[in-house]
Amino acid sequence: MHIDGQVDGIIETENDISIGDQGMVSGLVKAKNIVVSGTLEGKVACETIDILATGKLLGEVVCGQMMIESGGKFIGESRELTEGGLIVSFPEETQTTLEDQRGATESIESDETAADESNLSSTSDEKSSSSK
């Protein structure tokens, strides 16, 4: 399907879609392969998407492969599509760093909680001893 005009709404096909230089699509687009020369705004799900030099994509993309030609614009968020559904993958070293940070944060929080509890008990002890 080739689009040179303006389309607002939902486009769902098992075929390919191309959006021409003058084309503007706004809404939800689901197709096998998408080529963007014009403007695509909204949510996109496909196996491959190619944003050509005159193309602009604004929105959320779930795809297996994305190519942005020099001059093409992509403003938004992308996620990887696999046969089993969506995955968000981090390189191993990034994942380790995130786990280290999460562990450090939990350690700090438990230290703060323990400090707060000891402050509360010492304050209670002081009040009970001063009232005697």
* Cβ–Cβ < 8 Å for 66, 80: no
Q: What is the pLDDT of residue 90?
A: 41
Residue type, 60: E
Q: pLDDT 10s digit of each residue in the chain, 132 long? A: 999 999 999 999 999 999 999 999 999 999 999 999 999 999 999 999 999 999 999 999 999 999 999 999 999 999 887 655 544 434 444 344 444 544 444 444 444 444 455 555 444 444 444 444
**What's residue 104's pLDDT?**
45
pLDDT for 88: 42
3-class secondary-structure state, position 122: helix
Q: How high is the pLDDT of residue 40?
A: 97
Put simply, whether the predicted model's pTM sits higher than 0.85 gets the answer: no
- Determine the pLDDT at residue 83: 58
Element (H, E) at 94: helix 92-130
pLDDT value of position 67: 96
Q: Is residue 62 a contact partner of residue 81, using CB atoms and an 8 Å limit?
A: yes
How many Å apart are CA 26 and CA 107, to the nearest integer?
47
